[in-house]
Amino acid sequence: MASLVRSPIRVLVGFGALVLAAVTACHDSTAPGEDTALRVSHDAATLTLGNRGDEPLYFAAYDRRTVTMLQGPTVPPFCSEPSCPHVEPGARLEVPLTAVVGYDAETENVLVFWWRLVPRAGGGYTIPPGGVRSIDVAID
């Protein structure tokens, strides 16, 4: 599983391939040209994640500075169980900024990684190759 995570993170950090979406307070954001199932808005204390799709979307939110430190074997795998943090289809979920990994008073950007889970042959679930997407949210 770690190989699925390391590759997108290295691309993100090493090549700057992350699509940036500038967000101001209470404006929705999606990565332009990408799957728009997840929308993110924010206010001074909360991220609001909205699932416009028809299946659960799983997520993890990090201060962008924290992501630049997570390279190589130290990168934890993204959660691949149905009990992991997720937004149900058609629902909205509020996430306090204080719950963002690495968040502090100096945070300027939050990366919201999101993915779908697919059943694995023989049981369990997995994240499909290339299935982790991200939205960069500028915190004002």
Q: Using a cut of 0.85, tell me whether the model's pTM lies above it.
A: no
**Which domains are delineated in the chain?**
2-138 (2.60.40)
pLDDT in tens, 79-126: 889 999 999 999 999 999 999 999 999 999 999 999 999 999 999 999
CB 56 within 8 A of CB 87: yes
Question: Both tokens of residue 43?
Answer: 């206010």
Q: How far apart are the C-alpha atoms of 49 and 23, rounded to whole Å?
A: 13
Say whether 37 sits in a helix, a strand or coil.
coil
DSSP bridge partners of 70 = none
Q: How far apart are the C-alpha atoms of 85 and 79, rounded to whole Å?
A: 8
What DSSP character marks residue 5? H
